[in-house]
């Protein structure tokens, strides 16, 4: 099951960049469970350490559907429909984007599957009835969730207001996500200093995403395609506020010496920023932050 429309930068292939190996971390992150549940990143509590997927890295993205709906009139209608008519999420149950507050999707690079968490105003009973009609059967309980399984279609962990889902019923990663949220599995920001650093500047924005990676080599570097030598991760946050959208991109390098602001300038001068204004970038140690604004009606409009 794919949920590739759960993102904005995430929807662009060159930003969906994972690689196996280390993440350039200088040590373990120290984020507490309370910090992970703060409004600055409610999605963070659902992100397990990569090792839980048998990976060194993975990509995630998040949509705040409440903010999305509040700005509907400012989007290009076709772009808005892409986010609110996601068949991978909504065609499998009787709820719609109107019932959803937020959705986070996780894509381990080697696993080949996408895992997602959807929160909103739906009831467990309504979702269970819908799944039963679609030939899912009640399989087991995991903590406060009831898991429904169809061997050919996936698994759903369901409770009032929350659904944890996967198209891979043999992975048991519905359990992984539930136990991560409940604090039984270490989180990405606890296991990876790089991810903890990348998410520090990113708050409760309309669209959020991020990834860690092995350091890119000189041969892999393609600045106009958002790949820089020495890069070990990135994050982005995009806040839609009426007819303007603010974009923040954070690029993390293995060391401060790896930062090449000329390469960053190649990126900010590329077609990705053709409709943006007030584009700026700054270096702080081994981290570079790029900010820009664009008209909301040009947000990934074709």
Quick: pLDDT tens for 88-107.
Answer: 666 555 567 788 899 999 99
Say how far apart CA 289 and CA 267 lie, in whole Å. Answer: 12
In three-state form (DSSP H/G/I as H, E/B as E, the rest C), the secondary structure along the chain is CCCCCCCCHHHCHHHCCCCCCCCCCCCCCCCCHHHHCCCCCHHHHHCECHHHHCCCCEEEEEEEHHHHHHCHHHCCHHHHHHHHCCHHHHCCCCCCHHHEEEEEEEEECCCCCCEEEEEECCCHHHHHHHHHHCCCEEEEEECCEEEEEECCCEEEEEECCEEEEECCCCCCHHHHHHHHHCCCCCEHHHHCHHHHHHHCCCCCCCEEEEEECCCCCCCCCEHHHCECCCEEEEEEEEEEECCEEEEEEEEEECCHHHCCHHHHHHHHCCHHHCCCEEEEEEEECCEEEEEEEEEHHHCCCC
Residue 199: per-residue pLDDT: 93
Residue 88: per-residue pLDDT: 60
Residue 38: per-residue pLDDT: 44
* Cβ-count burial 121-142 (b if 16+ within 10 Å, e if not): ebebeebbebbeeeebeebeeb
Residue 52, pLDDT > 90, answer yes
Residue 56: per-residue pLDDT: 94
Give the residue among 287, 291, 175, 277 at the shortest CA–CA distance from 238.
Answer: 291
> In angstroms, what is the C-alpha Rg of the chain?
19
Per residue in 7-21, pLDDT (tens digit) is 344 334 333 333 333
Averaged pLDDT, 52-81? 93
Averaged pLDDT, 35-49? 71
> What is the number of other CB atoms lying within 10 angstroms of the CB of residue 289?
15
Averaged pLDDT, 65-83? 92
Q: Tokens standing for 299?
A: 């947000």
Give the residue among 51, 45, 65 at the shortest CA–CA distance from 22.
Answer: 51
- Write down the mean pLDDT value for the chain: 84
Residue 171: per-residue pLDDT: 87
Residue 159, pLDDT > 70, answer yes
Per residue in 115-157, pLDDT (tens digit) is 999 999 889 999 999 899 889 999 999 999 999 999 988 999 9
Averaged pLDDT, 28-35? 42
Residue 258: per-residue pLDDT: 98
Residue 299: per-residue pLDDT: 86
Per residue in 241-292, pLDDT (tens digit) is 999 999 999 999 999 999 999 999 999 999 999 999 999 999 999 999 999 9
Residue 180, pLDDT > 80, answer yes
Residue 1: per-residue pLDDT: 28
Say how far apart CA 31 and CA 165 lie, in whole Å. Answer: 26
Per residue in 214-230, pLDDT (tens digit) is 999 999 999 999 999 99
Residue 111: per-residue pLDDT: 78
Residue 10: per-residue pLDDT: 37
């Amino acid at each position: 099951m794919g949920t590739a429309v759960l993102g904005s930068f995430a929807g662009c292939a060159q930003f969906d960049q994972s690689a196996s190996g280390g993440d350039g971390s200088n040590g373990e992150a120290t984020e507490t469970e309370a910090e992970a549940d703060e409004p600055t990143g409610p999605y963070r509590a659902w992100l397990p350490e990569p090792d839980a997927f048998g990976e060194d890295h993975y990509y995630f993205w998040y949509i705040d559907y409440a903010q999305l709906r509040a700005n509907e009139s400012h989007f290009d209608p076709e772009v808005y429909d892409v986010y609110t008519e996601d068949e991978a999420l909504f065609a499998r149950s009787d709820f719609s984007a109107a019932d959803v507050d937020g959705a986070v999707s996780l894509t381990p690079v080697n696993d080949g599957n996408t895992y997602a968490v959807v929160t909103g105003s739906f009831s467990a009973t309504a979702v269970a009835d819908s799944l039963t009609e679609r030939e899912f059967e009640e399989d087991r309980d995991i903590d406060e969730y009831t898991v429904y399984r169809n061997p050919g279609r996936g698994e759903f962990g369901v409770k009032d207001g929350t659904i944890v889902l996967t198209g891979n019923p043999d992975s048991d990663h519905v359990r992984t996500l539930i136990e991560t949220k409940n604090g039984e599995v270490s989180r990405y920001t606890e296991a990876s200093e790089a991810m903890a650093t990348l998410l520090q500047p990113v708050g409760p924005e309309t669209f959020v995403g991020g990834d860690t990676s092995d350091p890119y080599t000189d041969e892999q570097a393609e600045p106009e395609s958002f790949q820089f030598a020495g890069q070990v991760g990135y994050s982005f946050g995009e806040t839609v506020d009426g007819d303007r959208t603010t974009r923040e991109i954070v690029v993390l390098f293995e060391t401060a010496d790896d930062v090449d602001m000329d390469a960053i300038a190649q990126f900010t001068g590329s077609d990705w920023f053709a409709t943006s204004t007030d584009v700026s970038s700054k270096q702080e140690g081994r981290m570079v932050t790029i900010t820009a604004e664009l008209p909301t009606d040009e947000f990934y409009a074709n």
